[in-house]
Chain A
C-alpha cells in the first residue's frame, strides 16, 4: 500500500514536496522501482520519474521535468519523496506515486491515492 501526503495548493515559483509512504514492501527492494506520475486534462497521464535500489541508488527523470525534479528515498521511514522546483500553472495536476514490482515487466501494480496539486497566484 502507498500513502501519499503533501500540500494541495501552491503559488508559482514555490517548491512542491510530496511523500509516498510504503507498507507491505521496502523502498530498498532489489526488484521494485518507485515512481511518480501526474495526470492533468491537458497532458493526460505523464510519468515523472523513479527511484530504485540495485546495490546502489538510481534515479531516472522525464526530460520534461529533469532540470526541476528530485526523487529521494528515505530508508529510515520506508518512503520516497518528490521535490519539484519553480512550479508554474502547468504543474497543476493530480500526482500519484506507484510501484513497479519485479514480477510485472514495467507495469505499475500499486498506486497511491493521488494528491491534487493546484498552482495558483
Chain B
C-alpha cells in the first residue's frame, strides 16, 4: 500500500502570500492518479486538482499542482481569505483497487 506523507502539518501564512504544500509518496505514483482536495470545517472535501496538475471545474487559477513520481506539490499563488482550510492529497492504486489519502496540511491564518 502506498503511503502519502504531507508536509508541513500546519502552514501559517497571511492573505496575499504564496503557499506551497508537499505530498510525498512511499512509491512512485502515476501522475494521472494524484489528486488534491480542500476541506473546510463541517464540509465535505472539495476537488481542486486531478491528474497532478489539472484544475477541476470552477477552481481559480491561483491553485496549481505539479510533480511526478513520488513528489507532488500544490501551490496557491496569492492566498485569499477563503483559502484557509485543510488540504489533502490522494492517490489511486489499481492492484488491489484502492484510494489512499495523506494526513492533510492545515493552512492557517498567521
Chain A residues proximal to chain B, CB less than 8 Å: 35, 37, 44-47, 50, 60, 62-63, 96, 98, 104-109, 111-114
Contact = CB atoms under 8 A, between A and B. Distances in A.
Contacts of B47: 104, 107-109
Interface stretch (B7-15, B69-77, B98-106): B98-106
Given A63-B96, A96-B44, A106 B101 contact: no
Given A60-B96, A105-B50, A46 B45 contact: no
Nearest to B35: A107
B101 A44 contact: yes
Interface of B: 32-33, 35, 43-47, 50-51, 54, 56-57, 88, 90, 92, 96-104
A106 B32 contact: yes
Nearest to A45: B101
A113 B44 contact: yes
Given A47-B98, A47-B99, A104 B50 contact: yes
25 contacts: A44-B102, A44-B103, A45-B88, A45-B104, A46-B101, A47-B100, A60-B97, A60-B98, A104-B47, A104-B50, A104-B54, A104-B56, A105-B33, A105-B50, A105-B92, A106-B33, A106-B35, A106-B99, A107-B47, A107-B56, A107-B90, A108-B47, A109-B57, A111-B45, A113-B44
Given A63-B96, A112-B44, A47 B32 contact: no
3 closest pairs, A vs B, by CB? A107-B50, A106-B92, A111-B44
B98 to A, nearest CB: 6
User: Max chain B CB contacts within 10 Å: which of A44, A50, A63?
Assistant: A44
User: Max chain B CB contacts within 10 Å: which of A46, A63, A107, A109?
Assistant: A107
B93 to A, nearest CB: 9
A86 B43 CA distance: 28
B29 to A, nearest CB: 11
Contacts of B92: 105-106
Contacts of B98: 47, 60, 62-63
Contacts of B88: 45
A20 B32 CA distance: 27
